[in-house]
Amino acid sequence: MAMNETSKQLLQEFKLYIEVERNFSKHTVVAYSSDILSFLIWLNERSVKDVTYSIIREYLLYIQQFNYSKTTTSRKIASLRTFYRFLYRERIIEMNPAVGVHSPKRGKTLPEFLTEKEIEQVLNNIKMESPAGYRNRTILELLYATGMRVSELSNLNFENLNLDENEIKVFGKGSKERIVLVSERAKKFLETYIKTVRYLIFKNEKNSPNDAVFINKTGYRLQPQSIRLAIKDVVERIDLPKHVSPHVFRHSFATKLLENGADLRIVQELLGHSSISNTQIYTHVSTERLKQSYNIAHPRAN
């Protein structure tokens, strides 16, 4: 299957629209662009202007053969809706054929998290004999102490740190700015890393405000994938029977706060959620743990 020149041009304009005007995250821009590319290739030489609701339904039936998860299917539908809203807004089409196309209902899945004991097990098994090992321990201490996304941590510069006040400024999805709080324990790791360890990873004379806090051995910013690999390495060594990613540290942070009585709105603000409904999932996690403890401890629970 091919793609006509008009479609190629519209794809580039759409990508620029969601990147600049809509201020979507880099990850979303890549995902949406890929989704629309697949759709345009499927259309072949047909024009996007001739697409009807029926053709979109036909495409959705076509992608069913790939057995995508409900999350992926929902995103592909969201991509199509955004694309055709863009075409309608730019008056490239007179009617929006994606109106009325709905995403499949997603079943509620509770986020995976680590208990306090499991967190300590992971942290204490990081080999800190090397500068990179100490850096990785600092990173995981920070992820658990602040609830930052791995991309937010990777993008930290020295100008974002206000350790005198135990604060860090981060830029979340859509470049939204927020302040996260740092525990004394994580702060000590971070200060030691900055004062002594970072120089051992890559020797430079002076750190400027816009330099990356976390770097690799070549002096470049440490990327999220490297952090994921560091976690994978330690989890495989201790044979922890859970899938552990940087995001699991974020889930664990939120769950622990709510278990200890933190206000839901405060947790929402610390996580940088635009909607409180995204934060409410952690109340379900806490309730599930409460039920489990009750069933184990109460003599007449069963």
Please, is 42 exposed, middle or buried when counting C-beta atoms within 10 Å of its C-beta (0-12, 13-18, 19+)?
middle
Whole-angstrom distance, CA of residue 189 vs CA of residue 146: 13
Whole-angstrom distance, CA of residue 173 vs CA of residue 169: 13
Task: For helices 116-124 and 131-146, give the axis angle rounded to 10 degrees.
Answer: 160
Is the distance from CB of 35 to CB of 103 less than 8 angstroms?
A: no
Mapped onto helix, strand or coil, the DSSP state of residue 212 is strand
**Dihedral of CA 158/160/161/164: which sign?**
positive
Whole-angstrom distance, CA of residue 185 vs CA of residue 166: 11
Whole-angstrom distance, CA of residue 291 vs CA of residue 278: 22
List, by residue number, the catalytic residues.
Answer: 149, 173, 247, 250, 273, 282
Mapped onto helix, strand or coil, the DSSP state of residue 215 is strand
